[in-house]
């Protein structure tokens, strides 16, 4: 009990010293925590200064319906970010395209009463993403990008996979958008 009372007294004394003696130092310390924060796009461009077009991705995996989901989520992620103006067709400054190269389903957890029955899978989708400047043809981005999500399996694996597909495509799209937006090309 004495330790608690003593620590409360020390804390109250510290607060009194902070309020009375060093208001400028308190203000400087509180503002210093935000010194690294940057408002707006981080690549030096003004928001909406350049436009981007997303071409449909090519699916080289055995999993169907990936192309539409990834392309739609790419467009949504770029719109949500706001750094680039999304153009559906025509004269965009940057054209983004890609090839879906790998779709993996890895067991994460098994049911407690049957070690052969999977309860959760980790889905991974990898795409080789290429971004080019339309005017010059210069490659801005050319690298593999992977998105992940977890999938809980019930009695129907295909239905669970179909429901997890938009989440997987969304994670891949967020990762690609981050590379495009934060890139220093």
Give the per-residue pLDDT at 115. 83
Please tell me the class of the 45-182 domain: alpha beta
pLDDT band of 1, cuts 50, 70, 90: very low
Question: How many whole angstroms separate alpha carbon 42 and alpha carbon 179?
Answer: 11
Give the per-residue pLDDT at 19. 64
Ramachandran angles phi, psi of 141, nearest 5° = -145, 135
Question: How many whole angstroms separate alpha carbon 175 and alpha carbon 179?
Answer: 6
Question: How many whole angstroms separate alpha carbon 166 and alpha carbon 70?
Answer: 8
Statement: the pTM of the whole predicted model exceeds 0.85:
no
Q: Is-contact 118 152, C-beta < 8 A?
A: no
All structural domains of the chain with their residue ranges? 1-37, 45-182
């Amino acid at each position: 009990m004495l330790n608690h009372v003593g620590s409360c007294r020390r804390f109250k004394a510290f607060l009194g010293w902070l309020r009375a003696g060093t208001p400028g130092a308190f203000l400087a310390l509180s503002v210093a925590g935000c010194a690294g924060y940057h408002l707006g796009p981080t690549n030096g461009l003004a928001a909406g200064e350049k436009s981007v077009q997303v071409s449909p991705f090519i699916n080289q995996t055995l999993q169907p319906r990936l192309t539409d989901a990834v392309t739609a989520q790419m467009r949504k992620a770029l719109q949500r970010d706001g750094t680039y103006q999304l153009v559906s067709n025509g004269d965009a400054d940057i054209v983004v395209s890609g090839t879906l190269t790998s779709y993996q389903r890895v067991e994460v957890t098994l049911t407690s009463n049957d070690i052969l029955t999977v309860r959760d899978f980790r889905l991974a989708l990898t795409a080789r993403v290429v971004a080019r400047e339309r005017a010059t043809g210069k490659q801005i981005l050319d690298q593999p990008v992977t998105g992940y999500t977890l999938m809980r399996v019930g009695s129907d694996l295909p239905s669970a996979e179909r429901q997890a597909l938009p989440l997987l495509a969304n994670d891949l799209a967020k990762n690609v958008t981050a590379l495009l937006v934060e890139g220093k090309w």
